[in-house]
Amino acid sequence: MKDIDYAAPKTIAEACAILQEKGDKARCLAGGTDIIVQVREHRRDIDVLVDIKHIPQVNALNYDPGKGLTIGAAVPCYRIYEHKEIAKAYPGLIDAAALIGGIQIQSRASLGGNLCNASPAGDTIPPLIALEAICVIVGAGGMREVPVEKFCTAPGKTVLGRGEMLVQLKLPPPKPRSGAAYLRFIPRNEMDIAVAGAGVSVVLDEKKEKCIAARVALAAVAPTPLLVQEAGAALVDGALGDALIDKAASLAQAAAKPISDMRGTAEYRKHLVGILVKRALTIAIQRARAG
């Protein structure tokens, strides 16, 4: 790796000061599973890695059934899925946290890093969108909140400005009779990048026969992870069954704007979106009915 500096600030203010001063030449280091490889392979030219794991807010994980979930931006995946209450309350998020890389990657990789890396195929982003996560961002100008579906702006690009960092992700408490799920397709069983992914959430009525709210989000089929509002809206109020699920799936397919690359053709990806949305909705509805 080229010669760089390493800083380990203990406060958000210290970290933001370095990010402000160095601009593009400084990058946060959370789990390092993207950034270390990118710097080593000359895909990012930086002068300093800012290790944010010593900042208490960025490393904290808190769940309160009344208030919801706060995930520090650098909390590694394993802490989320090994937390029994969180795993029970947010199975749709766990679907993604437990499939990033292998065990070694999950020891380090964070949701904040997955999001800030802004890959169209980032696996935790669709479930975060489905679960209405909010990004808490801090910079010299103070604090601001951005819904997660607005965070990524292009491959590798986010709304973060000079001197800003992601501090936390906030998720509302799970609503009664709600369920979520994330599914992706990869050619192997483990350790690969999604050819397509679908994260969905549903909230059912008291009889558990209709949806009163639903969200559908996709990975790897557009320049950024995608919230498909019309697919969610189509599920609301109709009788829950195959016809309704098919309709939501075809709206998601219509919204997908995939490219062809070595992982799959655009046509193949569109086909996968239909299947993944249907299967993910079936699981989310089952979870909502069981919960």
Partner 1 sequence: MSKKIHVTTSINGKETEFLCEPRQSLLEVLRDVLMLTGAKEGCNNGNCGACNVLLDGRLVNSCLVMGAEAQGCKVQTIEGIATPQGLHPLQQTFLEGAALQCGICTPGFIVAAKAMLDQNPKPTEHQVRHFLAGNLCRCTGYDKIVRAVLEAAALTNK
Q: Which parts of this chain interact with partner 1 (CB under 8 A)?
A: 1-6, 8, 29, 31-33, 36-37, 40-41, 49, 51, 53, 78, 101-105, 107-108, 189-191
Contact partner at residue 203 from partner 1, ligand FAD, none, CB < 5 to 8 Å by partner kind: none
The residues of the shown chain that bind ligand FAD, judged by CB under 6 A, are 27-35, 37, 52, 73, 99-101, 105, 108-110, 112-114, 116-117, 122-123, 160, 165-166, 191
Distance of CA 100 to the CA centre of its chain: 11
Phi, psi of 50 (to 5 degrees): -105, 100
Closest to partner 1 by CB, 154 vs 191, is 191
Least Å from the CB of residue 259 to ligand FAD: 17
- Would you say 40 or 257 has its CB closer to partner 1? 40
Distance of CA 143 to the CA centre of its chain: 21
Report the residue number, 111 or 203, with the smaller CB distance to ligand FAD: 111
Considering the complex, state which of residue 31 and residue 232 has its C-beta at the smaller distance from ligand FAD.
Answer: 31
By C-alpha distance, which of 133, 119, 117, 200 is closest to 168? 133
CB 42 → partner 1: shortest distance, Å?
13
Smaller CB separation from ligand FAD, 9 or 113: 113
Token pair 């600030």: residue: 9
Residue 160 binds what, of ligand FAD, partner 1, none (CB under 5 to 8 Å, by partner type)? ligand FAD
Q: Minimum distance from CB of 190 to partner 1 (Å)?
A: 4
- Provide the 8-state DSSP code for 175: P
The tokens of 38 are what?
């990118």
> Out of partner 1, ligand FAD, none, which partner does residue 70 contact, by CB within 5 to 8 A per kind?
none
Residue with Cβ nearer ligand FAD (24 or 237) = 24
- Binding partner at 8 among partner 1, ligand FAD, none, C-beta below 5 to 8 Å by kind: partner 1
Alpha helices in the chain, H assignment, sequence order: 12-22, 35-40, 77-81, 84-89, 91-97, 103-106, 111-117, 125-130, 229-235, 242-255, 266-290
- Cα 51 vs. chain centroid, distance in angstroms? 21
Q: Which of the choices partner 1, ligand FAD, none does residue 161 contact, using the CB cut-off of 5 to 8 A by kind?
A: none
Question: Which of ligand FAD, partner 1, none does residue 51 bind to, with CB < 5 to 8 Å depending on kind?
Answer: partner 1
In angstroms, what is the minimal distance from the CB of 128 to ligand FAD?
11
43 CB-contact burial (10 Å; exposed 0-12 / middle 13-18 / buried 19+): exposed
Residue 68 region by backbone torsions, left for phi larger than 0, else alpha for psi between -120 and 50, else beta: left
Q: Which listed option, partner 1, ligand FAD, none, makes contact with residue 98 (CB within 5 to 8 Å by class)?
A: none
Listed residue (228, 240, 238, 239) closest to 274, CA to CA: 228
| For ligand FAD, the closer CB: 58 or 202 | 58
- How many whole angstroms separate alpha carbon 118 and alpha carbon 279? 25
Separation of alpha carbons 195 and 187, rounded Å: 8
